[in-house]
Amino acid sequence: MRDDELTALLDDIESDRAERKESFADGDKIRQAICAFANDLPDHKQPSVLFVGVNNAGNSTELPITDQLLQNLASMRADGNILPFPSLTVQKRNLKGHDVAVVLVQPAEAPPVRFKGTVWVQVGPRRTIASLQEERILAERRRYRDAPADIQPLRDVDISELDQTLFREIYLPAAVSPDVLAENLRTPEEQMASLRLVDLGPPVVPTVLGLLVLGEKPSLHLPGAYVSFLRLAGEQLGSDVVSSHEIQGPLPRMMSQIDELLKLHIMTAVDITSGDKERRYPDYPLVALQQIVRNTIMHRSYEGTHAPVRIYWFSDRIEVISPGGLYGHVTPENFGQPGINDYRNPNLAESMRHLGYAQHFGVGIQIAREALARNSNPPPEFKFDLGPVMAIIRQRERKNS
């Protein structure tokens, strides 16, 4: 935007396309404003602007506009609090003779956008939580042909296949803040629709996301929606089978079972030769395996394939195979670099974050690499074919005592 356009918005105190903040002190208020602008309830189809370093009258507060401040503002796009990720740019501009931080927020392609599970909208110069009708208005703007595969409705699946108790007792409290829940008068179906777990139709049916998160057995309708685990005695697929498992069910139950299975199969060596205090060395660090498996479940393709996620636990390595190749702007060259991410299943990623399985988007592979290095395991290896992606985690070298 030109300086004169920005100045006009800065001075227009009644505009619903501009908001002013004196400082960066309240990051949540800034995120709420970004969320509201991305939702574009008035349907301006133009960018809205958050000015940082000015007061409510549009006058400078002489806030130093440092590189760190600009980086902090830019990081709000992908810190996982505002989902789906908003499109925004952060600039340092000189307006009316003073430096100001300017955050330009584009209208979202697939509203509603949520901050910590809550939809915020701009109504005149006031920011507020969206009503049910306002959420419906935003949802109607999202065309199904442009919607990600993970929120497509499953017209042949009955809503009775979703675990209502799991939704009420586990998922809803994790996804929506307590103060919003306390004032919520919506029906369970309306609550699930606001979180993209069902489509209100009519008839009301689960989405792919709803079936994955709450379905008693998602693989009945999404044949590959499970994890196959095979522990082998040797280094080849033809080796004797030690144990075999098919992990199925709604996402929270499945993730819990996978974590327990990983813990069960990790072997720990005890070193009693280095002083009075014994030291324990697992052959694989749990956090590295968790990060790689969770990334696989989050990013795999659930359409066009009947293949599950496969975990092959050999005597010298673990192979984790993800159906579906790399997605979007992720390439073999930039794969696993911090901050490089794209989402085949953005709403599933959001759900995994709600449930505590994805605290930091875009850094899972880096966390795994660091955990493996601390445990003296070799770096993870990745193979990219036109079909699946394979991660190879090699065992920590066992030293003779």
Lowest mean pLDDT among 109-113, 240-244, 391-395: 109-113
Residue 98 token pair: 């003073």
Q: What is the mean pLDDT of residues 316-324?
A: 94
Pair (301, 372) in one structural domain: yes
CATH number of the CATH domain containing 367: 3.30.565.60
User: What tens digit of pLDDT does each residue of 134-161 get?
Assistant: 888 888 776 544 678 899 999 999 999 9
Pair (323, 234) in one structural domain: yes
Q: Which helix (H) or strand (E) holds 389?
A: strand 389-394
User: What type of residue sits at position 327?
Assistant: Y
pLDDT at 163: 97
Partnered with residue 198 across adjacent β-strands are 206
pLDDT at residue 60 tops 70: yes
Give the pLDDT band (50/70/90) at residue 180: confident
With tokens 């670099």, the residue in question is 337
pLDDT at 143: 55
Rounded to 10°, the helix 286-299/346-354 angle is: 140
pLDDT at residue 227 tops 70: yes
Pair (249, 378) in one structural domain: yes
Pair (10, 117) in one structural domain: yes
Domain holding 187, by residue range, is: 143-220
DSSP-derived letter for residue 241 is E
Above pLDDT 90, what percent of the chain?
Answer: 71
CA 221 to chain centre: 24
Give the pLDDT band (50/70/90) at residue 356: very high
Question: What is the number of alpha carbons within 13 Å of residue 274 lying toward its C-beta?
Answer: 8
User: Are the CB atoms for 35 and 19 separated by under 8 Å?
Assistant: no
Q: Which helix (H) or strand (E) holds 279?
A: strand 279-282
Phi/psi-derived region of residue 328, left when phi > 0, alpha when psi is between -120 and 50, beta in every other case: left
Tell me how far apart the alpha carbons of residues 35 and 82 are, in angstroms, rounded to a whole number.
7
- Phi, psi (deg, nearest 5) at residue 18: -145, 145
The domain boundary, picked from 160, 193, 220, lies at 220
Partnered with residue 230 across adjacent β-strands are 244, 312
pLDDT at 272: 65
pLDDT at 401: 42
Name residues whose C-beta falls within 8 Å of residue 279's C-beta, 6 or more positions apart in sequence.
270, 271
With tokens 């008068």, the residue in question is 185
Tell me how many domains the chain contains.
3
Pair (10, 120) in one structural domain: yes
pLDDT mean across residues, the chain = 90
Residue 401 lies in a domain: no
pLDDT at 330: 79
Residue 370 token pair: 């660091």
Q: Which of helix, strand or coil describes residue 161?
A: helix
pLDDT at 144: 47
Name residues whose C-beta falls within 8 Å of residue 114's C-beta, 6 or more positions apart in sequence.
35, 82, 83, 120
pLDDT at 146: 63
Give the pLDDT band (50/70/90) at residue 358: confident
pLDDT at 340: 67
